[in-house]
Structure 1
Amino acid sequence: MADNDSTIQSGHPSMGAARGEAIAIQGVSKRFGSIVGVDSVDLHIEAGEFLSLLGPSGSGKTTLLMMIAGFETPSAGSITLGGRDLTHVQPNKRGIGMVFQRYALFPHMSVAQNVAFPLKMRGANKAEIAHLVDQALSRVRLQNYGGRMPAQLSGGQQQRVAVARALVFQPPVLLMDEPLGALDKKLREELQIEIKTLHESLGVTIIYVTHDQEEALTMSDRIAVMDKGRIQQLGSPVSLYHQPSSSFVADFIGKMNFLNGVVVGMDDRRIEVAVSGQTFDVARSQISGREDVAVGRSVRVAVRPESLSRTEEAERAIAGEIETSIFLGSHRTLIVRTEDGAQLQVQIPSSQQDSDVPRRGRTFVRLDPAAVRVFAGEAA
């Protein structure tokens, strides 16, 4: 469907001309009695950015999203959209699109009527509604489904309708609260790519709430990792994966192994760490934590499964016992118990001959010192 530069009567541009706006969140807090849901959050979201709020249940991510949408009022702080203060503006006056996990479609309306609903509320004429609904359904690959009822659609199709309805009036910002959580894994992964492609086509600003770290890594320009009402780290998927600022972030983004270590030597550029009877050097740029490192201090060492390798040689390797072996298609994961009781996940490429990988028994694990993160003051 070709782009169209017309506007509906409320002044919103057509879908083809979609462009996002920046959001500024300054000192925003939300209290529920004595409980702090969101605690003094500062966050600037660029126009057209795809930003995910990622964190465990109760971390404050959905509460922050609801304050941006207007369904919750901040206890303190301000929220602006394109320079316009939204802090106390009612939800239906904000011009923001919203997609929920449970679709929230009107069961008594057809697909086309569901998508048309925001346009009717904004006073668009019939011809324009028909054009924009057709355009919106084409965007989500449902152009021939306008006459169907929601009950006649699959879960994935219903979620596409919800996205079309949220975008049809051309909002500058689209808020998505766990929108794929009710779908099976394969369909969820397909829709992740579709939403990301749609975002790149339209340029709308998207704020996406999820507890699924793989989903956030797949879709986001930046990720804000939240815990206890605060943003623990903000950055690109690559920087969060490779340079987590804390063991919490390291553990929440991807799979991570943790080992307790002790600093046994150091100079201006590097430190020497002893782990499970082995020592290795780490650059100071690989160190994060709550306190300075010093010889004799305990540290927590984090290393990804793909940065570990199995070896038959004991030299400069950690000894352990293979407890189980798990085949996962692209790779095999060995669960190894070290002699001091730590459990390691070691990722072996599927290209390696299956007969070369023992299922159980004694083995040695070698880590890549350049790929570890060391957290000072966080030893378990």
Structure 2
Amino acid sequence: MADNDANIPNGRTTLLSARKGEAIKIHGISKRFGSIMGVDSVDLHVEAGEFLSLLGPSGSGKSTLLMMIAGFETPSAGSISLGGRDLTRVQPNKRGIGMVFQRYALFPHMSVAQNVAFPLKMRGVSKAEIGPLVDQALSRVRLQDYGGRMPAQLSGGQQQRVAVARALVFRPPVLLMDEPLGALDKKLREELQIEIKTLHASLGVTIIYVTHDQEEALTMSDRIAVMDKGRIQQLGSPVSLYHRPNSSFVADFIGKMNFLSGVVVGLDDLRIKVAVSGQTFDIARSQISGREEVAVGRSVQVAVRPESLSPAQEAEGAIAGEIETSVFLGSYRTLIVRTEDGTQVQVQIPSSQRDCDIPSRGRTFVQLDPSAVCVFAGKAD
């Protein structure tokens, strides 16, 4: 048996059901490229069996961090362990980790079955055992009848399913996925998101998933690590990141967000009063995000999701504006409204309200739900 087969338990024919995910601990990991710090002192604990996404814009360090976990990049500092085993200087082929890339990386001269069998051959698994394991892996991704085809005979989605089967066939405790759906169209991407999530639930493997698509991360993840400038800016569940972002960067990057300029006009131990576009809103202090203190007279940003704004009649607390355009998006409509102070906001209206008398252009008022906002301290006046 090859020396990189430590991942295969005794009784190999139970390979796809014998192992569960293992925890990954990352401590003080950094990666410097000359004068550029690609990843800067990251600490991260991924629970066994967890689906964690690394989310961020291009250049945020998410792929570099993933490549260090895989062993394709060497850390400048810090350590990586898997199930208590130090992997920091271990060669990639000896880490026992599955990897799925954006561009499939299938061998074009091999059939589907041969591609999936390749990791098993490299681990010294006998021919008699390989066949059932390959069949089981292809069945997992709904390609049980495609073993004899060549990669060029498959669609993009089918090729990515083969890549997933190949990464899972030796039943690794950890699966790393680097923007695996980025080359697919929207509909197919959404279908495969659900399939990967279903596979994760059935296998219990630990998955670390890199994406720049915030909707993808929200759909698939147990937790999300939002990265920027080589650091984790916030780590939490999709719900907590969406509703309680800790910075304006995270608020803007996760989902759609409106930012309204305001000034603190009053505060006590429990609440603050913020003036926005000629209206005053009473907001709980627990809705203040970030580390900066607020004080009367201080400028703030009031962040509110489009679905927490609604068209209204002129009334106290309603912000006046002009509807610039209306966009129909199937399950909801989006009104683009320019407030009187020049701020453009998006107002999301469920399509179930299609019978309401909402103009597509013209003067309107926007009602803000004070309980659904986040407040970020701006520059002091």
TM range (shorter): over 0.9
Residue number in structure 1 paired with 2:288: 287
Residue 249 of structure 1: aligned partner: 250
Alignment of 1:80-99 (within 5 A): 80-99=81-100
Paired letter, 1:194: E
> Which residue is equivalent to 1:261?
262
Structure 1 residues 345 and 322, CA gap change in structure 2 (3 angstroms): same
- Contact 2:298–2:379 (CA<8 Å) still a contact in 1? no
C-alpha contact (below 8 Å) 2:307/2:348 kept by paired residues: yes
Q: What corresponds to 1:221 in structure 2?
A: 222
Checking the alignment, whether the CA contact within 8 Å between 1:332 and 1:348 is kept in structure 2 is: yes
Q: Distance in 2 between matches of 1:290 and 1:12?
A: 54
Match of 1:50 in 2: 51
What are the superposed Cα offsets for residues 223-273 of structure 1, whole Å, 9 maximum, x if unpaired?
000000000000000000000000000000000000111000000000000
- Please report how far the alpha carbon of residue 378 of structure 1 lies from its aligned counterpart in structure 2 after TM superposition: 6.2
Matches of 1:122 and 1:370, distance apart in 2: 56
Q: Does residue 1:130 correspond to 2:149, yes or no?
A: no
| CA displacement at 1:8 relative to structure 2 | 6.3
Aligned partners of 1:9 and 1:122 also within 8 Å:
no
Amino acid aligned to 2:49: G
Question: What runs of 5+ residues in structure 1 fail to find an aligned partner?
Answer: 1-6
Q: Does 1:35 align with 2:36?
A: yes
Aligned equivalent of 1:297: 298
Distance 2:37 2:380 in 1: 28
Q: Offset of 1:13 from its aligned partner?
A: 5.7
Q: What's the counterpart of residue 335 of structure 1?
A: 336
- Matches of 2:19 and 2:182, distance apart in 1: 26
- Cα-to-partner distance string for 1:180-228 (whole Å, 9 max, x where unaligned): 0000000000000000000000000000000000000000000000000
Partner of 2:183: 182
Write the distance in 2 (CA, Å) between the matches of 1:179 and 1:208.
8
Residue 314 of structure 1: how far off its partner (Å):
3.4
Q: Distance in 2 between matches of 1:196 and 1:305?
A: 28
Task: Tell me the SS of whatever aligns to 1:103.
Answer: coil
- Residues 1:344 and 2:356 aligned together: no
1:39 to partner: Cα distance: 0.2
Counterpart secondary structure, 2:265: strand
Aligned-partner SS, 2:302: strand
Code of the aligned partner of 1:212 = D
| 1:1-12 aligned within 5 A | none
Q: Residue 162 and residue 219 in structure 1: after superposition, are their counterparts in 2 closer, same or farther (change >3 A)? A: same
Shift of the 376–13 alpha-carbon distance from structure 1 to 2, 3 Å rule, reads farther
Partner of 2:200: 199
Letter in 1 for 2:136: Q
Could you tell me which residue of structure 2 aligns to residue 160 of structure 1?
A: 161
Give the aligned length: 374
Change (3 A) 1:225 1:84: same
Does the 8 Å CA contact 2:298/2:380 hold for their aligned counterparts? no
Partner SS state of residue 14, structure 1 = helix
Q: Relative to structure 1, is the Cα distance of residues 139 and 11 closer, same or farther in structure 2, using a 3 angstrom cutoff?
A: closer
**C-alpha distance in 1, partners of 2:217/2:364?**
35
Provide the secondary structure at the position in 2 that maps to 1:104: coil
Equivalent residue number for residue 278 of structure 2:
277
Q: Is the 8 Å Cα contact of residues 13 and 129 (structure 2) preserved in structure 1?
A: no
Mapped partners of 1:49, 1:12: distance in 2: 25
**Equivalent residue number for residue 77 of structure 2:** 76
- 1:363 paired with 2:357, answer no
Give distance in 2, aligned partners of 1:220 and 1:114. 28
- Change in CA separation of 1:149 and 1:352 when aligned onto 2, cut-off 3 Å: same
User: Is the contact between residue 8 and residue 124 of structure 1 (CA under 8 Å) also seen in structure 2?
Assistant: no
Specify the SS of the correspondent of 2:118.
helix
Deviation for aligned residue 1:127: 1.4
Alpha-carbon distance in structure 2 between the residues aligned to 1:75 and 1:53: 20
User: What is the aligned partner in structure 1 of residue 17 from structure 2?
Assistant: 16
Contact 1:303 1:372 in 2 (8 A): yes
In the alignment, the residues of structure 2 paired with residue 113 and residue 159 of structure 1 have an alpha-carbon distance, to the nearest angstrom, of 15
- Partner residue in 2 for 1:109: 110
The aligned amino acid for 1:257 is N
4+ aligned runs moved over 4 Å, structure 1:
7-13
Secondary structure at the aligned position of 1:174 is classed as strand
**Could you tell me which amino acid in structure 2 is paired with residue 54 of structure 1?**
L
Alpha carbons of 1:61 and 1:201: their partners in 2 closer, same or farther (altered >3 Å)? same
Q: Distance in 1 between matches of 2:344 and 2:221?
A: 31
TM-aligned CA deviation for residue 352 of structure 1: 1.1
The residue number in structure 2 matching 1:4 is none
Helix, strand or coil: the match of 2:245?
coil
Local SS of the residue matching 2:376? strand
RMSD of aligned Cα (Å): 1.5
Query: 2: distance between equivalents of 1:150 and 1:95?
Result: 25
* Matched residue SS, 2:353: coil
Alpha-carbon contact 1:27-1:77 (below 8 Å) kept: yes
Q: What is the rounded CA distance, in whole Å, between the counterparts of 1:207 and 1:239 in structure 2?
A: 19
Q: Name the TM-score, length of structure 1 as normaliser.
A: 0.96
How far does residue 16 in structure 1 lie from its aligned partner after superposition? 1.8
1:310 matched to 2:340: no
Give me the identity figure in percent.
86
Give the structure 1 partner of residue 378 of structure 2: 377
How far is 1:289 from its partner? 2.3
TM-score by length of 2: 0.96
CA contact (8 A) 2:271 2:283 kept: yes
Q: Tell me if structure 2 keeps the 8 A contact 1:270–1:284.
A: yes
1:115–1:161 CA contact under 8 A, matched in 2: yes
Could you list the runs of 5+ residues in structure 2 that have no partner in the other structure? 1-7
Which shifted more, 363-372 or 305-314? 305-314
